[in-house]
Structure 1
């Protein structure tokens, strides 16, 4: 599958329109060191403000030039650099490829403008909405994370897609399998009928966020089925996993870790554990309006342990 992916990427490359890689620092333990050891020509998309924040340095996305040959003698071709990059990174879900601009500086400027985008407040977690008065908020955009971008490029409208693509013609990424819906990789190409990219910050509409949420929901379900049905010691049926997933969402558990904790409780204490006679305290904790999602799942787990020990 990686060979097929590499062949497609290299088929886009030309002298006038090379391909560039943008690697997500947050997807790897120490991306700057990986790139340094691999002798890649790269540049951080987060500017150094002089605060020497180690977390920001390590997690920053980096633009990587694949065609190194025009810079100095003895450098690698795109084919050689791409193979070396894949070997250095291991996982491909933390890199997105962009094509269609001749200048790395031109692409750098465009991507810098995508580091932060606006989303509607309704798209935030329920626990966060109460603290914000505005109708939209700026958020960090993980445009170098293939798993995050997979949810975006399948959901945006043409105006948003045009602003996302900017001066580029194609973006390509290979998310984890549960985000790909059976495809070997995902790509978006600029259509000749698209409008001119709007100036200013990329803002995603309510409709786009709704589609993204459904895409995320579908991906998380597929992920949960992979994780919990494959447990050799205590496998769960697909029906049980999906039922637990649906109930977790009814209790407004939105983050993956919280949903997974709920499904673990289902696996440990049995189907519909919180609805068992005498376990009303568990259900009440999960419904609490005064606790955050993480607090609710934490105290529900404690209540399950206590009730189980009594029986």
Structure 2
């Protein structure tokens, strides 16, 4: 997340009313924390009585930043006022380093924004695209089967719009019309993601020439989903390059960016062929590939070990890395340098 003081100064400089949407999944008990700090807040998931306590705790919350629970006018949430520096500071302290907040500037007020946000909790994704949904696209934990309206080409899934990392992946990938649909009545959205996505706070603003958004749920196109996946792949590659430079300093010293990118491309391709799934597994495989100058990919014994029937390739690569590091330590202690 970007520097808190920078984010605070940006938010306080905005003349429009500011509201925050917090990702409950990143807190132990967000409703209790908000209540203890005297915030006015509303959950954005519809509880039909079938949600567990855990599901209700992890629901995203819309938070008012212009008043607190003790305000005499606290129930008149439709009339926004300037952001309270005290409440904003309290909120930023609560968030800490989490990528768990997205800020909305909405002149129409919190009640109007609340109704809009409830309409973008669920989005439609094309079923024809092979994608890693990750945490950005989960099924609604409070929905019933009948809620998940879908057609043959799309499925209804949860859009984690309270997670700033998710917004950093999704919003830059959307068409103009779909950006207008996400904005709804808001004039601007501000979010501060992890450095993988941006070193500075990112924002989306309403433009005068934005088209009228299509009615109904947000329905992403194949091209938009592919653009999201491309952003994810680039971010994953940056993380893996940083990991290699940290764990394999001798092997990567002096290597060009292009050489590192090519090494990772080959590692990713061979890793997928082995059935690797997790980020950690791909990093470990890139490490082993780097230490062996790629020879491990042609090792019959290593491939058989990783793809052993009944075992998880991710776990097998983890064990292979442990074995390889232990072997290198023994070689080093014996004065042998492979």
Is the CA contact 2:305–2:316 (under 8 Å) kept in the aligned structure 1? no
Q: CA deviation at 1:211?
A: 1.3
Summarize deviations over 1:246-296 as a string: whole Å, max 9, x none: 2343243554344234335446x634253244436349839xxx99xx933
Summarize deviations over 1:113-165 as a string: whole Å, max 9, x none: 11111111214349xxxxx9942222211101011100111111111111111
Partner of 1:270: 292
Q: Are positions 1:8 and 2:27 aligned together?
A: no
Q: Which residue, out of 74, 84, 88, partners 1:82? A: 88
5+ residue gaps in structure 1? 127-131
CA distance in 1, matches of 2:31, 2:262: 42
Distance 1:256 1:302, change over 3 A: closer
Q: CA deviation at 1:78?
A: 2.1
Summarize deviations over 1:201-249 as a string: whole Å, max 9, x none: 1011111111111111111222233444345x97763768645542343
Is the CA contact 1:19–1:98 (under 8 Å) kept in the aligned structure 2? yes
Partner of 2:102: 96
The normalised TM-score by structure 2 is 0.74
Higher-Rg structure is 2
5+ residue gaps in structure 2? 75-81, 134-149, 329-338
Is the CA contact 2:12–2:83 (under 8 Å) kept in the aligned structure 1? no
CA distance in 2, matches of 1:87, 1:106: 27
Partner of 1:142: 160
Q: Which residue, out of 154, 162, 169, partners 1:151? A: 169
User: Where in structure 2 are the equivalents of 1:175-254 lying within 5 Å?
Assistant: 175-180=193-198, 182=199, 184-231=200-247, 237=252, 242-243=261-262, 245-250=264-269, 251-252=271-272, 253=276
Partner of 1:43: 42
Q: Are positions 1:296 and 2:313 aligned together?
A: yes
Partner of 1:256: 279
* SS in structure 1 at match of 2:196: helix
* SS in structure 2 at match of 1:187: strand
Partner of 1:59: 58
Distance 1:104 1:280, change over 3 A: same
Partner of 1:24: 23
Partner of 1:129: none
Q: CA deviation at 1:55?
A: 2.6
Q: Are positions 1:106 and 2:112 aligned together?
A: yes
CA distance in 1, matches of 2:96, 2:87: 14
Q: CA deviation at 1:174?
A: 0.3
Partner of 2:307: 285
Partner of 2:71: 72
Distance 1:299 1:134, change over 3 A: farther
The normalised TM-score by structure 1 is 0.80
